[in-house]
Chain A
Amino acid sequence: MTGSNVIIKKTKISKRTKKLIFCLALIILPLIQFAIFYIGVNLNSIRMAFVEFEGYDDAVGKIVWFENFKTVFVEMTTLANWPIMVKNSFGIWILGLVTKTPLTILISYFIYKNARIGGVFKVILFAPSIVSVMVTVMLYEYFIDTAVPELLESSFGIIMEVGFFKSPSLRFWTIFFYGFWCGFGTSLLLYTNAMDAISPSVVEASHLDGVGYMQEFWYVTMPMIFPTFKTLIMVGSAGLLLDQFYLYEFYGMKAYTDIQTVGYYIFKETMLVNATGYPRIAAMGIIITCVAVPFALLIRYLMNKVDPMEG
């Protein structure tokens, strides 16, 4: 009796150990990858912010403590382009929030309520988001820069002396419109799929209570898709200081200062400098992360406050 218990226990232990070994075998490589390329990269980035490299091959560097932060801080507070870049980064996010987000939700609701005709619109609206940004950028740029001025001149007699991408008053809006032109895709898909997941019985019950379609949108659909809405807002707020606003695709390294964003500037600087310039960018990154993280957490807190499912 005791002997068989021992055998059963041994078998159980070995089975669990086998499971543990198998489980570890599955996750070990991805965990090592994560340790090196996420934790390692970010720790190295922090380390780099406190050192100075003396040459291209100098991987260790000399510790200079807060010198890089001082340099970046002086740059941020004295150079005129920093306030513009910060304003642009937040401005683009807010503009998208008040224009694109409501429109996407409204179109999604239309698609949800008109399955047949809406399905066609859904395919067409989603299609640009699967096309490479380089393809859409090229088509848009050539069309706006060569075809539209010709059209304006031949149809309305308007002669454009400076192209859309160069004109100081038009260049920001030309690129903002590009984001609008091909940027409904993923969020539209997520909203329509979230709406499709609403139980028809909930909708029917609301109609039995005499709820109209606008009321249904506001009191049934919106609360039901709120998790999707919240996630998209939070992801957007977390990435707003990383957003390059397609400037590198359109202008390469030569984007005009008045339309640059923080994300573009950091990317451009990284491409522009060699290893000796990296510590400055690492320090810049840490300062900006110190702004981005609390902002993302604030948005998360606010979204949880207004979430109808919370509390």
Chain B
Amino acid sequence: MWAKKDKPSKKITVAQVLIISFLVFYIVILLIPLVWGALTSLKSSSLELRDNMFGLPRRWCFENYSKAFENLYVETTFRKEPYYLGEMMFYSLMYAAVSALVNTITFYVVAYARTRFDFKFLTVLDGIVLVTMALPIVGNLPSSIMMFQQLNLADNFFGMTVIAKMNFLGMYYFVICTAIRGIPRAFSEAAEIDGANELQVMFKVIFPLTLGIFFTIFIVKFIDYWNDWQTPYIFLRNFPTATYGLWVFKDNTLFELPQKLAACLLVVLPILLIFFIFHKKLMGGISLSEGVKE
């Protein structure tokens, strides 16, 4: 039916035609709202949409993108002045970068300890991660909110990006374990014979060999945290991020639709750039059975 990996067949089968047709149809359906959104973001106002819903903008209003920075804002009880889109994008960058770095380092050091040392108690770590991944615990959000408030970590940038993200629960723990296990013990043993201490072995021998995996997970987590709007909504209202801002703008009729769509595209732009630069690393890399391939 399909050809690759062995002899290429020139026959096109019904199944192949059906799947290609479905995929082309799907991609068209996927792209139409995006193209419509991009064109609408360049129209002069919501009024223009009434008689020019699908056409090209009568005047290409690229200034909508700068106006989105000036006109779209979020108000909070934390300060009198509203938060504008530019400031929120800065908070997004800070939140995503610090959280991703702390989270990736945590995954890495715990996985490192688990794989490089043979203390029996370390096997408990695998069990902890597996159980927390498999057990669905419902309704603990109120308890989390109370806990974070009592510890003064809610609405606290350090608390939400460093302390809250210092957790090793999740698939990437196993991904890094698999990668470190793949490095021959002889490498670290040779370094130890040459007088390297544990820290030097970790940073000068093992880490450079797993830098690719570290970086891939950092990028994946950066995208996750950039896109995360519920955590800032619940726990970081005094640092409103851009995606939280979009949620606020969405139903606010004071803001013009073209500017709201311009804000959408501005928020997605950094992530699309990262994706197109690193898509091979991000897409080819992660699998459940093998972890991350370099």
Contact = CB atoms under 8 A, between A and B. Distances in A.
Interface of A: 18-20, 22-23, 26-27, 29-30, 33-34, 36-38, 40-42, 44-45, 48, 59, 106-107, 109-110, 112-115, 121-128, 130-135, 137-144, 146-147, 150-151, 181-182, 189-190, 193-194, 197, 200, 203-204, 207, 212-214, 227-228, 231-232, 234-235, 238-242, 248-249, 252, 262-263, 266-267, 270-271, 275, 278, 281-282, 284-286, 288-289, 292-293, 296, 300
Interface string B2-29: 1111100000000010011011001101
Nearest to B134: A238
Contact of B4 (A115, A235, A242, A288): A115
Contacts of B36: 139, 143, 147
Nearest to B153: A37
| Majority secondary structure of chain A interface residues (helix, strand, loop or mixed) | helix
B141 A267 contact: yes
A249 B247 CA distance: 7
Contact of B54 (A112, A147, A182, A271): A147
B161 interface: no
A140 B33 contact: yes
B106 interface: yes
B271 interface: yes
Contact of A106 (B4, B19, B34): B19
A214 B246 CA distance: 46
Contact of B139 (A23, A126, A289, A296): A289
Interface string B129-153: 0001111111111111111001100
Interface of B: 1-6, 16, 19-20, 22-23, 26-27, 29-30, 32-34, 36-37, 40, 49, 53-54, 106, 109-110, 112-113, 117, 119, 122, 125, 128, 132-147, 150-151, 163-164, 166-169, 198-199, 223, 226-227, 229-230, 234, 243, 246-247, 250-251, 257, 260-261, 264-265, 267-268, 271-272, 275, 279, 282-290
Contacts of A44: 143, 146-147
A138 B142 contact: no
Contacts of B139: 45, 266, 281-282, 284-286, 288-289
Which of A197, A234, A300 has the most CB atoms of chain B within a 10 A radius of its CB? A197
Given A44-B146, A44-B147, A30 B106 contact: yes
Which of A19, A193, A252 has the most CB atoms of chain B within a 10 A radius of its CB? A193
Given A23-B122, A124-B27, A151-B54, A131 B227 contact: yes
26 contacts: A18-B198, A27-B113, A38-B167, A41-B143, A44-B146, A44-B147, A45-B139, A107-B23, A110-B2, A115-B4, A130-B223, A131-B272, A132-B226, A139-B264, A146-B53, A150-B53, A193-B287, A194-B288, A197-B287, A242-B138, A262-B138, A270-B142, A278-B146, A284-B138, A288-B138, A292-B138
Nearest to B27: A124
B166 A181 contact: no
A41 B106 contact: no
A280 to B, nearest CB: 9
Contacts of A124: 27, 30
A281 B288 contact: no
Contacts of A193: 284-287, 290
| Majority secondary structure of chain B interface residues (helix, strand, loop or mixed) | helix
A26 B286 contact: no
Nearest to A227: B289
Nearest to B234: A271
Given A23-B122, A34-B169, A194-B289, A238 B144 contact: no
B142 A45 contact: yes
Contacts of A23: 113, 117, 119, 122
Contact of A282 (B142, B279, B286, B287): B142
Contacts of A36: 147, 151
A181 B31 CA distance: 10
B287 A19 contact: no
Contacts of A228: 287-289
Contact of B229 (A127, A134, A235): A134
